[in-house]
Amino acid sequence: MPKLTIDTIAVEVPEGTNVLEAARSIGITIPHFCWHPALGKAGACRACAVKMLDGPIKGIQMSCMLPAQDGMVVSTTDQEAVDMRRAVIEWLMINHPHDCPVCDEGGECQLQDFTIAGGHGIRRYDGLKRTYNNQYLGEYIEHEMNRCIQCYRCVRFYQEYAGGTDFGAMGRSGMVYFGRQQDGDLESPFSGNLVDICPTGVFTDKTARFRARYWDYDMAPSVCPGCSLGCSTVPMARYRELLKVTARRNDAVNGWFICDRGRFSNAAVNAPDRPRQARVDGEAVSMDAALDSLQERLTNFLELNGAAALAIVGSPRMAQEAAIMAAKLRDLIGAETLCYSGDTPHFAATVEAVALLNRNNTASQKDVRQADVVAILECDLLIEAPMMALAVRQAYRNGAKVFVVHNKCLKETSRQLYDSAAVASLTDVPFAEARNPVVICGMNRQAINSIQAMALSGVKLAFILNGPNAFGTAMLAREQGAVTLPDALARGAIKGVIALEADLSSELPP
């Protein structure tokens, strides 16, 4: 563990940490654009200059490119380093438009912050700026190439981290262009991360364009409901309308990124025909009146039919708090039937899968990123849990071997992310040679049965469940004796249903 001194503060950091990260670890932010924790260094922007006063290396150095070493004495405030950083910002701003007032990135722009922090406020350059044509990149992302500062983060993310092939860097005679060969939708299911990762306003979220500034938003840490992975997000709303969703860093789960399904799914939340008003027999009423009517009808129903005729029905989409309330409601009313699922085969598989998991054998997305052997069975990750596919890609980039068991359900798009070997069964996967093996399994009962023996063998397991809270509701279902709706109806006694966050129109048999 190298020990060094930064701005007179002694710091000890893990081997491989660069000087920029070492400074961050003690709360010193060195300006940077191309370096990103998930992408590493590129040395492209030259903005992170520091002065090495003593130790194995001396003079002005780029702190992102320099691994921390014993005995280094680093100054971030030395005048020569400050002047170098100021000059770099001024060069970058020569071609960057002064359009912060009309740029959607304004207020959440790294270039804006570091320009102001570096003290560059007056433009000395009065020549023509370099300009580019913008591209149509689809309905989600706006492109404004004149703002580019050539940090290469976008292409490093899109091609290297996310395996995309339709976007890249193109250059001729002093001009570098970041885009597609021609206008068109970005093909990567992770393309929305360009918005977060670009340190300036080249890529902005078109769906929220010109609707709010950063400080206008109501926002809170949240969890994506797009699939069972539960990636960390920050939904951002204004005037009670959800305008955009951004990734929230969570190293154990999604890291720095989310998929486009999680990012661009706010249309349903804002749908004008979403029920927002209590109704009784189709008539709009106050919430109090609706609850009074519910109580009266429920009492009549129970007197007439008995509690055995009533089912409380939730879904794997409901929050855990709501799922617990459903069980409490069942007990309060005295109803006999509680359901969290309308799909008997999936529910049975989910309950079995959840029963196999414990604190030690459960693989997070981080575990998958760090795995050296990954076996995937009975699921197409890019369709069912996109960020898990991205996690497998990171393992693959680090040298992991990927095996797909029964690959009949693998779509072509998944193959772009990692090369995999097709095997007939899990016994063909060389787990014995692996230090961090992981099995990722879809909701297929046969497949789940086939990995039961592995639950105690040191191989970590990740299940792709069929609902954002399928895990929580399956645990509750075991505890509360819940059954599926089709099974409850098959008994023939159910005459009434109370639905909580359940879409009965799709789950009730005709």
The residue ranges that bind ligand SF4 (CB under 6 A) are 148-154, 178, 198-200, 202, 224, 226-227, 229-231, 254, 258-259, 261-262, 385-387
Token look-up 């722009």 returns 109
Q: Distance of CA 348 to CAs 4, 125, 172, 342, Å?
A: 56, 69, 59, 11
- Please compute Rg for the chain using Cα positions: 27
Nearer to ligand SF4, 2 or 468 (CB): 468
Least Cα distance to 403 among 369, 374, 439 occurs for 374
Distance of CA 51 to the CA centre of its chain: 37
Least Cα distance to 20 among 91, 110, 43 occurs for 43
Report in angstroms how near the CB of residue 471 gets to ligand SF4 at its nearest: 12
Nearer to ligand SF4, 152 or 471 (CB): 152
Report in angstroms how near the CB of residue 178 gets to ligand SF4 at its nearest: 4
Query: For residue 462, what are the β-bridge partners?
Result: 440
Token look-up 């359940």 returns 502
Report in angstroms how near the CB of residue 261 gets to ligand SF4 at its nearest: 4
Q: Residue 120 in contact with residue 93, Cβ under 8 Å?
A: yes
Burial of 122 (0-12, 13-18, 19+ CB in 10 A): exposed
Nearer to ligand SF4, 2 or 225 (CB): 225
Q: Residue 55 in contact with residue 71, Cβ under 8 Å?
A: yes
Report in angstroms how near the CB of residue 442 gets to ligand SF4 at its nearest: 14
Nearer to ligand SF4, 89 or 429 (CB): 89
Q: Residue 179 in contact with residue 159, Cβ under 8 Å?
A: no
Nearer to ligand SF4, 202 or 312 (CB): 202
Nearer to ligand SF4, 178 or 429 (CB): 178
Nearer to ligand SF4, 220 or 422 (CB): 220
Q: How many CB atoms lie within 10 A of CB 20?
A: 25
User: Token digits for 108?
Assistant: 């959440």
Q: Residue 417 in contact with residue 386, Cβ under 8 Å?
A: no
Nearer to ligand SF4, 387 or 476 (CB): 387
Q: Residue 378 in contact with residue 406, Cβ under 8 Å?
A: yes
Rounded-to-integer distance, Cα 86 and Cα 280, Å: 66
Report in angstroms how near the CB of residue 502 gets to ligand SF4 at its nearest: 20
Rounded-to-integer distance, Cα 306 and Cα 169, Å: 69
Report in angstroms how near the CB of residue 223 gets to ligand SF4 at its nearest: 8
Q: What is the three-class DSSP state of 507? A: helix
Report in angstroms how near the CB of residue 417 gets to ligand SF4 at its nearest: 13
| Phi (first) and psi of residue 406, to 5 degrees | 50, 70
The C-alpha torsion from 269 through 272 and 277 to 280, rounded to 10°, is: -110
Nearer to ligand SF4, 199 or 316 (CB): 199
Nearer to ligand SF4, 67 or 107 (CB): 107
Report in angstroms how near the CB of residue 259 gets to ligand SF4 at its nearest: 3
User: Token digits for 206?
Assistant: 């078109």
Report in angstroms how near the CB of residue 327 gets to ligand SF4 at its nearest: 25
Nearer to ligand SF4, 198 or 392 (CB): 198
Q: What is the three-class DSSP state of 396? A: helix
Rounded-to-integer distance, Cα 179 and Cα 26, Å: 37
User: Token digits for 49?
Assistant: 């200059």
Report in angstroms how near the CB of residue 155 gets to ligand SF4 at its nearest: 6
Nearest 5°: the CA angle 198, 203, 205 is 115
Report in angstroms how near the CB of residue 235 gets to ligand SF4 at its nearest: 12
Nearer to ligand SF4, 141 or 259 (CB): 259
Q: Distance of CA 320 to CAs 251, 326, 354, 371, 476, Å?
A: 23, 10, 15, 30, 9
> Residues in the chain, how many?
510
Nearer to ligand SF4, 257 or 498 (CB): 257
Report in angstroms how near the CB of residue 227 gets to ligand SF4 at its nearest: 3
Report in angstroms how near the CB of residue 40 gets to ligand SF4 at its nearest: 14
Q: Which residues lie closer than 8 Å to 274 by C-beta, 6 or more apart?
A: 268
